[in-house]
Amino acid sequence: MGLSRRDMNWKKWSIRVARLRALVRAGVVNNEGFYTLGGRLALDFANSHERVGREKDGLASFEDLLTFLKSHRLLHEDEASDLHMFLFQNPARCQKVIEGLIQLRHEFRQVLADLSSGWPANPDFMTKINDHLAGFRSFLKLEPASEGMVLRTVIEEKGPEKLMFPIVRDIADFLASDHVEKTKSCANEDCGLYFVNLSRNGRRRWCSMSTCGNRAKVNAYLKRQEA
């Protein structure tokens, strides 16, 4: 007896959920399927075109951006619901934010490709980041935390453009840090994920052992069997 279409879909869905859960447990992705193996926000953003369990771009819509930021604990639920209202009132402005971020990610990935092959970062990109940074008016604010207090940078902007701030800021921080020399792309050429190589011996080759590393190990094993 064959499976009905409904059963097949259910089976596919449950395989997908099981795969996502395993990758969450391994610390490779978060609950929303966004990769968290970059080692910092800037690189997780660079990797956000891929989202486990989804075929299209991980940041295909403004809602996706809200989910990305919430799942990285950079946006509170109530702020997100305000921005949902904003999306309803002014979809064009929200669309502009998401398009700006997709373009920024594209250019940042080119910079990462240059850096990981030993080239310096394109100075035009620095100018672009500076233009973004100049557009944010911010102030510092002391807030209670779970233990003691925390000093936060607050953005005066209330509109959807404020969502770019944590990303732009971490890209700037990254470019000014020693993570630049430690950035690598996964050794699997079909993968395209970037990470900061903080392994003690500096020999990390794969985005994660649970995905590309394991696949490479299995392939090497099969090759040995063939020989």
Distance of alpha carbon 78 from alpha carbon 36, whole angstroms: 24
Tokens 């619901």 appear where? 81
CA dihedral over 111, 113, 116, 117, signed as positive or negative: negative
Nearer to Zn ion, 71 or 188 (CB): 188
Nearer to Zn ion, 47 or 97 (CB): 47
Is there a contact between 86 and 79 (Cβ–Cβ < 8 Å)?
no
| Cβ 190 to Zn ion shortest distance, Å | 8
Asked if residue 80 binds Zn ion (CB under 5 A), the reply is no
Is there a contact between 193 and 35 (Cβ–Cβ < 8 Å)?
yes
Distance of alpha carbon 224 from alpha carbon 103, whole angstroms: 43
Asked if residue 191 binds Zn ion (CB under 5 A), the reply is yes
Q: Which residues in 91-130 contact Zn ion (CB under 5 A)?
A: none
| Cβ 112 to Zn ion shortest distance, Å | 14
User: Which stretch, 51-59, 69-77, 126-134, 199-207, contacts Zn ion (CB under 5 A)?
Assistant: 199-207
Asked if residue 188 binds Zn ion (CB under 5 A), the reply is yes
What is the size of the binding site for Zn ion (CB under 5 A)? 6
Of the candidates 97, 164, 186, 196, which one interacts with Zn ion according to CB under 5 A? Answer: 186
Of the candidates 42, 112, 207, 210, which one interacts with Zn ion according to CB under 5 A? Answer: 207
Site string for Zn ion, 134-173 (x = CB under 5 A): ----------------------------------------
- Please name which of 115, 138, 113 lies closest in space to residue 193, comparing C-alpha atoms: 113
Classify residue 185 as left (phi > 0), alpha (psi -120 to 50) or beta: beta
Q: Radius of gyration (Cα) for the chain, nearest Å?
A: 20
| Cβ 188 to Zn ion shortest distance, Å | 4
Nearer to Zn ion, 50 or 63 (CB): 50
Distance of alpha carbon 33 from alpha carbon 46, whole angstroms: 14
* List of residues contacting Zn ion (CB under 5 A): 186, 188, 191, 193, 207, 212
